[in-house]
Amino acid sequence: MAEKTSRSKRVTEASPQESNSPVGVIIVLVLFVLLAMSTGFAGVIVVLSLVAMLFLHELGHYLAARRAGMKVTEFFIGFGPKIWSFKKGETEYGLKGIPAGAYVRVIGMNNLDPVAPEDEHRAYKNAKFGQRLLLASAGSLMHFLIALVLLYAVLVGNGINTDESDWTVKDLRSGGPAEVMGIESGDRIIALNGVPITDWWDFASNIAGLPNEKVTIQVSRNGDLVTLQGNIGSRVANADGQDYGFIGIERTKFSTIKAGPIDALGETGEQFGLLSYETVKGLGNFFSPSGLSDFFTEVFDLGSTQSPTNVGVGEGDEGRIVSVVGATRLGAELTETGWTGLFLFLATINVFIGIFNLIPLLPLDGGHVMIAFYERLRSRNGTRYHADASKLLPITYLVVFVLIAIGVAAIYLDIADPISL
C-alpha cells in the first residue's frame, strides 16, 4: 500500500499544476501586442532575446545548485500570475505573466529561510564554501559566457568596428540636403554648428534632433577647411510620434577587426576585457555621488530643460543608465541594422548585467558572494561560522529602495527623453 501511494505521488508531481491563471496569458499577449505596435518586429526579437538571457542566468544558478545537491523548489520565467507550470520531482517549473525576469528558489539561502529538518543537509547555507561561491556567481558567469560567444561570432562573421571616427562621405542622396548644401564625396565632417564631431553616431544623432533646422557644417576637403550652410531635411514621425532630421549621405565603412576561427579566440578575450573595463568605469562614474546627483537632477529638471522634440543622443546621455524600455528601443534600432548590431548589443548587456550583479550588496548575487567569503574568513578550527542575515536587512532594504528609484527614474527618462541612435 505504501509503495502504491508513493508511486501515485510521483505521478501527481510530474503532472501539470491546476493553479494556472488565464490572467497571465492575457497580460503576455497584451504586452507583446503593445510592444509590436511601438517598436515593430525588431523590438519583439530584442525582448525575447532578453528573456532568454535572463533564463540562462537562472539556469546557471539551477545547474550549480543541482550539481551541489541543494534542493531547488521552483524555477520560473517571469513574475506575477502563473501561466503554466508542471512539477517534476521536487522542483516546479513554469511561466508567469510578466516577462521581466526569472528566478530559482533554493532552500536555506540564509538563516532566516526556514528549512525542514530532513532537508538541512541540502540547504544552501550548509553547503561547502566552493559550492556556495559557485552558485552565487553562476548567473554572472553565464552572462560572461554568453557575451564571449556573441563576440566570437561577430569577430568571425562581419567583424567589430574599432574606430567609428574614421569615416568620410561615400555617397550622397540625389537632391538631398547634403548635396544641396554642397557636401561632396570624400569630405570628412569635423563640426556641426561649431561643435566638433567625434564619430558617426555623434553626427547622426545630432542631425536626427534637428529636423528642418538651418545648420553650419565644417568639412575637411583635400586638406582645406570648408564651411557650408543649409537646412536639414525632415522625415515622418518615428515610433515616438516625433519628426526627425536627415541629411542624405552614405558614409564609408569603419575600420573593423575580423579574425579567423582560431585567431578570434584571443581577440574575443581582448574585446571582452575592453568591454568589461568600460562597464566597470561607467558603473563607477554613475554610482559616484556626482553621478547619482546628475542623474536625478536630469530627471527633476527634464520638463524645464529638455525640448519634447529633441531626438537623439544628447550631451549628457553618454553615461546614462537605460531601463528595459530604453534598452528595447536601442536594441530594436540596432537589430534593424543586421544581426551584428543585435549580437553586439546583447554582448554589451550581458557584460553589464554580469558585472552589475556582482556588486557586493544584497539582494544582488554579489551580496551572497561577499557573505560566502566573510563566513569563510570567520570560520575557525573546522567550526563553520554562519552570518546573521537579519543584521543585513536594513542595508538590503536601502539597496532595494535605491535600485527601484533608479529603475523608475530611468523608465521615466526613456519615455520622456528617449535615446535614439
Contact by Cβ (8 Å): 371, 363: no
Amino acid identity for residue 227 in this structure: T
Q: How far apart are CA 163 and CA 266, in angstroms?
A: 20
Query: Whose grid coordinates read 542631425?
Result: 207
Q: How far apart are CA 327 and CA 321, in angstroms?
A: 9
Q: How far apart are CA 38 and CA 383, in angstroms?
A: 58
| Sign of the four-CA dihedral 68, 71, 77, 80 | negative
Task: Spell out the residues 6+ positions from residue 250 whose beta carbon is closer than 8 angstroms to its own.
Answer: 169, 170, 171, 172, 173
* pLDDT at residue number 68: 94
Burial 288-302 (b: 16+ CB within 10 A, else e): eeebeebbeebbeee
Q: How far apart are CA 256 and CA 39, in angstroms?
A: 29
* pLDDT at residue number 40: 67
Task: Spell out the residues 6+ positions from residue 276 whose beta carbon is closer than 8 angstroms to its own.
Answer: 351, 355
Amino acid identity for residue 201 in this structure: W
3-state secondary structure of 389: helix
- The DSSP code for 322 is -
Taking every pair of C-alpha atoms in the chain, what is the biggest distance, in angstroms? 96
Mean pLDDT in order along the chain per 10 residues (421 residues): 38 45 61 62 78 91 95 88 86 82 88 88 92 96 96 85 68 85 86 84 81 89 89 69 77 69 87 92 89 84 46 45 78 77 90 94 92 90 83 91 90 77 56
Q: How far apart are CA 70 and CA 119, in angstroms?
A: 9
Q: How many CB atoms lie within 10 A of CB 222?
A: 8
Q: How far apart are CA 256 and CA 158, in angstroms?
A: 8
3-state secondary structure of 131: helix
Q: How far apart are CA 221 and CA 218, in angstroms?
A: 10
- Whether the bond into 261 is cis, omega within 30 of 0: no
- The DSSP code for 256 is E
Task: Spell out the residues 6+ positions from residue 133 whose beta carbon is closer than 8 angstroms to its own.
Answer: 369, 372, 373
Q: How far apart are CA 265 and CA 327, in angstroms?
A: 28
Q: How many CB atoms lie within 10 A of CB 88?
A: 12
The domains found in the chain, sorted by start residue, are 2-154+353-416 (no CATH), 169-253 (2.30.42.10)
Contacts 24+ apart (CB under 8 A), 178-183: 178/247, 178/248, 178/249, 179/248, 180/230, 181/217, 181/228, 181/229, 181/230, 181/247, 182/226, 182/228, 182/230, 183/217, 183/219, 183/228, 183/247, 183/249
Task: Spell out the residues 6+ positions from residue 192 whose beta carbon is closer than 8 angstroms to its own.
Answer: 203, 206, 207, 215, 216, 217, 218
pTM for the whole thing? 0.72
Helix %, strand %, coil % for the chain, to 5? 55, 20, 30
Cell of 31: 504586452
Task: Spell out the residues 6+ positions from residue 227 whose beta carbon is closer than 8 angstroms to its own.
Answer: 216, 217, 218
